[in-house]
Amino acid sequence: MKKLHIWIAVVIVGIIGIGITLLLLIDSSSSLTFRVRDEVSKGWVWDMRATIDDRTLRGFFQSDQGLIDYHFTHLKGGKQKLIISAPYYEEKIIEVDLKKGENVIEEPIDLIGIEIPDLYKFYAFEREEDDAYLITFRPVTKENSAITLHPALNIWIGTKVRSWNSELEESISVFDKQSLLYKGSLEWTWDSYPETQFRYIASLPFSKIKEGKETSYAIEYLVVAPNLKKITSKEFESITTQLEMMDDEKIGPYIDSLGDKISYYSDISYDVRRTR
């Protein structure tokens, strides 16, 4: 009976010891909460990887209601490095000093996209709305496959609208001879809904197109993308400012002079109908 009491006492002491150890571990651990977004679009990043304390967390599709929180729990306290990366983005390393308990990085962590992989061309698709054309720009490969789930590069889109009719030959030489009804750049937004797998969307208001009797247009697009391995975002902004002010005959030589700092893509949509 005495031995039984001793064994019971040993078990109780062991349980208490384990409980105290667990409480100490829980009390001394740290957690970290943060959000990640694309620097340009301010939307979510596909296949994001976050690493800290030899642990990795991955993020794929997110809510279409906005950014979501990521959480690491049971981390060692003290100075740590949070490493954030994603395909075709610049890696970011953030020094954090983890206190005991909950730690929150308040501002979203911005990742800089550096390229759209295998980009060969942009295709434009127009849809007539009540007061504008809504234009979707899709990047494609050399094999004409759509490129999806890519970073949002801060592209510049220049456009010309000319009068057109379906009997004309669809060629650049004929296009250049038609009446110019609008020339300018297009502002765009980024559609990061999971269903669309990323695309650029621009609007061309009818109010910007010179009024006439036309029921059909030809629209030329020039898409310029930065090579962020060669230039900074600020340098690219300076380039696009120059393009905005430049005469047509100077644009080609200017773009050629930039070499691999940028890439550019042209597309013409012929016989774009207007019914409103």
Within a domain: 213: yes
CATH code at position 100:
2.60.40.1120
pLDDT of 275? 87
Please say if the pLDDT value at position 6 is more than 70.
Answer: no
Average pLDDT over residues 191-208: 81
Look up the domain containing 241 and give its range. Answer: 121-273
Asked whether residue 51 falls in the same domain as residue 142, the answer is no
Asked whether residue 203 falls in the same domain as residue 133, the answer is yes
Number of compact structural domains in the chain: 2
Domain boundary (56, 83, 111) is at 111
Structure tokens given for 161: 């609208």
**What would you report as the CA-atom Rg of the chain, rounded to the nearest whole angstrom?**
28
Within a domain: 12: no
Within a domain: 9: no
Asked whether residue 53 falls in the same domain as residue 187, the answer is no
Give the pLDDT band of residue 43 (cuts 50, 70, 90).
confident
Asked whether residue 93 falls in the same domain as residue 68, the answer is yes
Lowest mean pLDDT among 20-24, 164-168, 181-185: 20-24
Q: Which residue has the higher pLDDT, 244 or 3?
A: 244
Asked whether residue 213 falls in the same domain as residue 143, the answer is yes
Within a domain: 20: no
Lowest mean pLDDT among 22-26, 30-34, 202-206: 22-26
Asked whether residue 255 falls in the same domain as residue 132, the answer is yes
Asked whether residue 134 falls in the same domain as residue 261, the answer is yes
Asked whether residue 83 falls in the same domain as residue 149, the answer is no
Give the pLDDT band of residue 14 (cuts 50, 70, 90).
low
Asked whether residue 137 falls in the same domain as residue 54, the answer is no
Asked whether residue 130 falls in the same domain as residue 229, the answer is yes
Give the pLDDT band of residue 148 (cuts 50, 70, 90).
confident
d(CA 55, CA 37): 20
Domain boundary (51, 82, 111) is at 111
Lowest mean pLDDT among 129-143, 166-180, 201-215: 201-215
pLDDT of 60? 82
Starting at the earlier edge strand, list the strands of the sheet with 156-163.
180-186, 156-163, 216-226, 262-273
Q: What are the tens digits of pLDDT across the range 45-63?
A: 989 999 999 999 998 866 6
Identify any residues that bridge with 221 across adjacent strands, giving them in sequence order: 159, 267
Asked whether residue 153 falls in the same domain as residue 206, the answer is yes
Q: What is the pTM of this model?
A: 0.82
Asked whether residue 256 falls in the same domain as residue 125, the answer is yes
d(CA 27, CA 21): 10
